[in-house]
Amino acid sequence: MTAILSDRFLDRLARARSVVAFTGAGISAESGVPTFRGNQGIWTKFKPEELANLDAFLSNPSLVWEWYSARRKVMGEVQPNAGHLALARLEQSFPSVTVVTQNIDNLHRRAGSKHVLELHGNIDRNYCMGCGARYVGDEILFKEGIPQCSGCGGLVRPDVVWFGEMLPLDQWDESVKAIESADVVLSIGTSGVVFPAAELPLYGKRHGAYTVEINPEETELSETMDEVVRGKSAQVLPELVKELESRGVGKQTQKISRK
């Protein structure tokens, strides 16, 4: 079944110079990365307060580390899906495409998106809580199951945002800037319940962007969007790219941008 892409949506896109894709766990669902909420969601099996916060890590670092290592393994083994690839391809159609993601799975970059802002960190990165030394992947010293900095002996943690923590300021500021100057904001595969990230599509709308949700289910953001496309991102986004390319959108905007 093909999704219905309205003429209004396609016309707004055809005239857009700047597009922001705001993404959540749903865009990676078809790659095999579980979402957080919903029937099969991670938070139905695990409690965020036991795993995704600083106190949990300080009181049981090896348990939290083990959990993140298992997730890192899953995320490293899966492949970007047609939705990630379509977003990367959109870069050929518009002068500016920014992906603002809540995901930590690196799949947008692996799909080829060049301008990716990560609001909740990245599972491939770790840092020492003592001296700030950075570690990539799993190559870390362990003492009795506890990840330790080879420089200062401090505790090494995943570079992800836990509940109760601030978002990385540079990523947030750049995201706000991109969203506030966007002509079209796509909110893709997110339930829109985790703040402050969930505010971003509304910032876009307030600044005149046309806002479109792509999600098979209704979300907290649905009512405020200019339009919703009910469907899976790995299906809807390739259709969108195909439609734009068949209308020659990329060629047009490239001509304009060369003037």
Residues lying near ligand OAD in the complex (CB under 6 A) are found at: 24-27, 29-30, 35-38, 41, 52, 102, 120, 161, 189-191, 194, 215-217, 219, 232-233
Closer to ligand OAD by CB, 24 or 147: give it.
24
Q: What are phi and psi of 110, to 5 degrees?
A: -65, -25
Q: Shortest gap between Cβ of 198 and ligand OAD (angstroms)?
A: 8
Closer to ligand OAD by CB, 168 or 189: give it.
189
120 labelled catalytic = yes
The residue assigned the tokens 């348990």 is 63
Q: Shortest gap between Cβ of 151 and ligand OAD (angstroms)?
A: 28
- How many C-beta neighbours within 10 Å does residue 193 have? 13
CB-based contact 53:164 (threshold 8 Å): yes
Residue with the CB atom nearest ligand OAD in the bound state: 26
The count of C-alpha atoms lying within 13 angstroms of the C-alpha of 216, restricted to the half-sphere facing its C-beta, is: 12
Closer to ligand OAD by CB, 93 or 187: give it.
187
Q: Shortest gap between Cβ of 247 and ligand OAD (angstroms)?
A: 24
CA–chain centroid gap for 258, Å, is 30
**Three-class SS state of 186:** strand
The residue assigned the tokens 């195909």 is 242
- How many C-beta neighbours within 10 Å does residue 80 have? 23
Closer to ligand OAD by CB, 233 or 253: give it.
233
The one catalytic residue in 108, 115, 120, 207 is 120
Give the catalytic positions in this structure: 120
